[in-house]
């Protein structure tokens, strides 16, 4: 009889669950802190982005305040113009009332002019220095100087390849925003002062008319 020997059975190699033979080795864990894990955060341009965003928010809020104050001033001016004939025709109209009317129209006009100076768009160009890029490619005033999109894309790529030029370009934009915000806030402060004086003078006119009518009714 022929002896039957058992065939050798190859034992399967032990494979850890979840592991794949074709998967690449995992990179070693980074020891860098999380706040410095991005190259954009490590760049010296990153702080400028935060400052530019803050300056743009200030600019938007100043414009919103100007629009709101202009609406209030318009409402009070309409109210005063409607009742102006009654003020002039009143029997108790005196020199103080005339002075307050004169002061009201002057301050309301100056307040309106200053509010318009806040709202009117402004463009500032600070790239005249020889060390700065010729055109600010981050601002619409500089973007529109290019004839087509390909020229703009080429100039933007060449400029951003140099970190120093990129930093100077964004610094120039930030410098311009700072001066524009300073200009707007100056006229905004003046407009608030003129608005307050106009409302105060209008209130004095109303008080003088009320007191005059009250005294005339009591001492007839």
Backbone dihedral angles phi then psi of residue 91, each to the nearest 5 degrees: -70, -30
Give the lowest-confidence range in 38-47, 64-73, 103-112: 38-47
The DSSP symbol for 120 reads S
Longest Cα–Cα distance of the chain, Å, equals 151
Residue 156 belongs to some domain of the structure: yes
Minimal CA–CA distance to 87: which of 200, 198, 195, 213?
213
Q: Is the pLDDT of residue 39 over 60?
A: no
Residue 7 belongs to some domain of the structure: no
The DSSP symbol for 8 reads P
pLDDT at 192: 94
Name the token pair of 206: 């109303």
> What sections of 46-131 are H helices per DSSP?
46-89, 95-119
pLDDT at 30: 47
Backbone dihedral angles phi then psi of residue 126, each to the nearest 5 degrees: -115, 25
Residue 26 belongs to some domain of the structure: no
Q: Higher pLDDT residue, 24 or 140? A: 140
Name the token pair of 175: 């410098």
Number of domains observed in the structure of the chain: 1
Give the lowest-confidence range in 34-43, 96-105, 154-163, 203-212: 34-43
Q: Higher pLDDT residue, 1 or 82? A: 82
Residue 76 belongs to some domain of the structure: yes
Residue 36 belongs to some domain of the structure: no
Q: Higher pLDDT residue, 123 or 178? A: 178
pLDDT at 188: 95
Residue 1 belongs to some domain of the structure: no
Residue 15 belongs to some domain of the structure: no
Q: Is the pLDDT of residue 127 over 60?
A: no
**Structural domain range at position 113:** 54-213
What are the counts of helices (DSSP H) followed by strands (DSSP E) for the chain? 6, 0
Name the token pair of 26: 């995992």
Per-residue model confidence as pLDDT tens digits over 47-81: 777 888 888 898 899 999 999 999 999 888 888 88
37 to 27, 28, 48, 101: CA distances (angstroms): 15, 14, 19, 65
The answer to whether 104 and 205 have CB atoms below 8 angstroms apart is yes
Q: Higher pLDDT residue, 71 or 144? A: 71
Residue 37 belongs to some domain of the structure: no
């Amino acid at each position: 009889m022929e002896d039957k020997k058992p065939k050798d059975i190859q034992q399967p190699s032990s494979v850890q669950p979840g592991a794949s033979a074709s998967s690449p080795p995992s990179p070693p864990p980074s020891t860098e802190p999380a706040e410095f894990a991005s190259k954009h955060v490590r760049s010296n341009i990153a702080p400028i982005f935060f400052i530019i965003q803050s300056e743009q928010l200030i600019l938007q809020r100043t414009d919103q305040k100007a629009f709101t104050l202009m609406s209030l001033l318009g409402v009070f001016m309409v109210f005063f113009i409607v009742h102006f004939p009654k003020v002039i025709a009143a029997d108790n109209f005196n020199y103080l009332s005339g002075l307050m009317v004169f002061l009201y129209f002057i301050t309301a006009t100056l307040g309106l002019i200053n509010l318009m100076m806040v709202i009117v768009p402004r463009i500032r160009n600070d790239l005249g220095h020889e060390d700065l890029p010729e055109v600010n490619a981050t601002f619409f005033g500089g973007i529109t100087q290019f004839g087509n999109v390909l020229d703009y894309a080429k100039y933007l790529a060449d400029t951003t390849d140099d970190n120093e030029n990129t930093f100077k370009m964004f610094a120039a934009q930030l410098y311009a925003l700072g001066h524009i915000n300073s200009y707007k806030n100056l006229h905004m402060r003046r407009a608030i002062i003129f608005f307050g004086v106009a409302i105060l003078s209008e209130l004095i006119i109303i008080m003088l008319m009320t007191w005059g009518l009250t005294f005339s009714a009591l001492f007839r």
